[in-house]
């Protein structure tokens, strides 16, 4: 990290004053401001036109009431959010998160990061994010459906296939996208690509389900190549056991690596012989159960209550794929001490700033979320493309495009880091490359 400068201090002063208490948002802005400081110092136009100062203010944010009726007949009230952050290079694009921890600061950190991530994908999409403090866990299908319908009854007026195209995130998978799409269609009488992550057969793209996890592994393959390594025989620890974790594990296994641990918010499992992914898919995708059940079925596995201990398992590569700030400085130190060579962020902002410093000081290559998990949104952009053309591409074609995009994400980040004398710093490289693309478009479009 470049440390604090007058520019960074000024930006952070504004962010803290205008967005009090939104700590995750502050953290996300600080990282970008520290990375692009060097770019702004070199180009006086960026400072004069207050480009980053404009980027940190969302173009629009909507907060709304989401009332619904539970199975007991009681009325429940949740809060819905959609933050439309930046449309300089295309329609707002970014997922919806349903989790009890959701508040404006989380949605803004995710929306802000999305702007740069989407720019890196080489596809024409702006950045946004949304969600609710609704917890789908433990709810019946009908309760989830009623919630999704109520959520969409407000959201529909703010989105559209050419304005804002939401997708999934934590707590929002194929089931939730289906219920929201159905409600959108009923309210508007239009069948359009307004949401991505739709089911196959009604507008969804092949590979979208696998895309974030597969893309993460494609990106990290490039990191390993630079380290003169490949996946064969490598021991890998993946946190989470949701969409990203499952498909990252699948691709690591296909490429000859061995994932030995997975987790959920209750605890983690270790199976030194390699995780049996069929069991995980059934427990998590079909039965919506807990990761603990894996250890009940496989005697080779051990379950431990609590999440952070997962980083004490020795590994060559770590792929945090659960949630923000899940690796703190201490966990990072343990990973380094145990010989971890590379970390690929499947989750958004899973490493605290202290953890990032530990990795970089130790020479552990860190593939930052903005770049490493961009495969999901990139494939969403491919879904939008297929919807506009009213065509479905085969699996191999989408997968090949995904791989090509992840290579481009990596190449741009590495080139930007090299250009600014930050060789090997893929965090700064991703921030600079994403920033430059959005900044260029914003300058061309005037002060709007």
Catalog residues that contact ligand NDP under the rule CB under 6 A: 168-171, 173, 212, 240-245, 264-266, 307, 321-323, 346-348, 373, 376
- Cα atoms in the Cβ-side hemisphere of radius 13 Å centred on 116: 33
Q: Are strands 267-270 and 258-263 parallel, antiparallel or unpaired?
A: antiparallel
Q: Which is nearer to ligand NDP, 351 or 373 (CB)?
A: 373
Supply the minimum distance, in Å, between the C-beta of residue 42 and ligand NDP.
31
297: helix, coil or strand?
Answer: helix
Within a 10 A sphere around the Cβ of 286, how many other Cβ atoms?
Answer: 8
Q: Which is nearer to ligand NDP, 8 or 148 (CB)?
A: 148
Within a 10 A sphere around the Cβ of 337, how many other Cβ atoms?
Answer: 11
Supply the minimum distance, in Å, between the C-beta of residue 226 and ligand NDP.
23
Q: Which is nearer to ligand NDP, 118 or 412 (CB)?
A: 118
- The catalytic residue among 93, 108, 117, 129 is 129
- Which long-range contacts does 4-9 make (Cβ < 8 Å, 24+ apart)? 4/34, 5/37, 7/33, 7/37, 7/40, 7/41, 7/47, 8/33, 8/34, 8/37
Supply the minimum distance, in Å, between the C-beta of residue 240 and ligand NDP.
3
Supply the minimum distance, in Å, between the C-beta of residue 383 and ligand NDP.
12
Q: Which is nearer to ligand NDP, 183 or 212 (CB)?
A: 212
Q: Is 129 among the residues known to form the active site?
A: yes
* Per-residue buried b or exposed e for 30-69, using 16+ beta carbons within 10 Å of the residue's own CB: bbbbbbbbbbbeeeeebeebebbbebbebbebbebebebe
Residue 292 has φ and ψ, to the nearest 5°, of: -55, -35
String of DSSP letters for 68-93: EE-TTS-EEEEEEEEEEEE-SSSSEE
Q: 362: which residues sit within 8 A by CB, 6+ positions away? A: 336
Supply the minimum distance, in Å, between the C-beta of residue 374 and ligand NDP.
8
Q: Which is nearer to ligand NDP, 138 or 233 (CB)?
A: 138
Please list the active-site residues: 129
């Amino acid at each position: 990290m470049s440390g604090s400068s007058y520019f960074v201090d000024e930006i952070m002063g504004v962010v803290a004053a205008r967005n009090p208490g939104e700590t995750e948002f502050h953290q996300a802005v600080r990282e970008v401001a520290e990375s692009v400081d060097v770019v702004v110092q070199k180009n006086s136009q960026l400072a004069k036109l207050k480009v980053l100062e404009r980027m940190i203010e969302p173009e629009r944010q909507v907060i709304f009431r989401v009332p619904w009726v539970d199975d007991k007949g009681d009325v429940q009230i949740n809060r819905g959010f959609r933050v439309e952050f930046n449309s300089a290079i295309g329609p707002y694009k970014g997922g919806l998160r349903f989790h009890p921890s959701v508040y404006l600061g989380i949605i803004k950190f995710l929306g802000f990061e999305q702007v740069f991530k989407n720019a890196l994908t080489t596809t024409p999409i702006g950045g946004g994010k949304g969600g609710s403090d609704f917890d789908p866990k433990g709810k019946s299908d009908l309760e989830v459906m009623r919630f999704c319908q109520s959520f969409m009854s407000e959201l529909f007026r703010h989105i559209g296939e050419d304005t804002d195209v939401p997708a999934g995130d934590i707590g929002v998978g194929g089931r939730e996208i289906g219920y929201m799409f159905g409600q959108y269609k009923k309210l508007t009488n239009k069948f359009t690509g307004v949401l991505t992550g739709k089911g196959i057969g009604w507008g969804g793209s092949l590979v979208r389900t696998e895309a974030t996890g597969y893309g993460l592994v494609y990106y990290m393959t490039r990191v390993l190549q630079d380290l003169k390594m490949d996946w064969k025989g490598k021991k890998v620890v993946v946190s989470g056991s949701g969409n990203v974790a499952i498909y990252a594990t699948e691709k690591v296994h296909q490429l000859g690596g061995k994932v030995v641990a997975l987790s959920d918010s209750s605890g983690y499992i270790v199976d030194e012989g390699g995780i049996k992914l069929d069991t995980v898919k059934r427990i998590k995708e079909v039965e919506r159960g807990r990761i603990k059940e894996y250890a009940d079925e496989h005697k080779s596995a051990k379950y431990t209550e609590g999440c952070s201990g997962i980083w004490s398992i020795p590994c060559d590569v770590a792929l945090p794929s659960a949630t923000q700030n899940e690796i703190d400085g201490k966990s990072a130190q343990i990973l380094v001490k145990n010989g971890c060579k590379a970390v690929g962020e499947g989750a958004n902002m899973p490493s605290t700033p202290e953890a990032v410093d530990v990795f970089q000081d130790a020479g552990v290559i860190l593939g930052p979320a903005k770049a490493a998990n961009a495969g999901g949104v990139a494939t969403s952009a491919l879904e939008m493309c297929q919807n506009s053309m009213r065509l479905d591409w085969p699996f191999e074609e989408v997968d090949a495009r995904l791989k090509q995009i992840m290579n481009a994400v990596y190449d741009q980040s590495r080139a930007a880091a090299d250009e600014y004398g930050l060789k090997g710093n893929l965090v700064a490289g991703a921030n600079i490359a994403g920033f430059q693309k959005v900044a260029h478009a914003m300058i061309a479009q005037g002060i709007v």
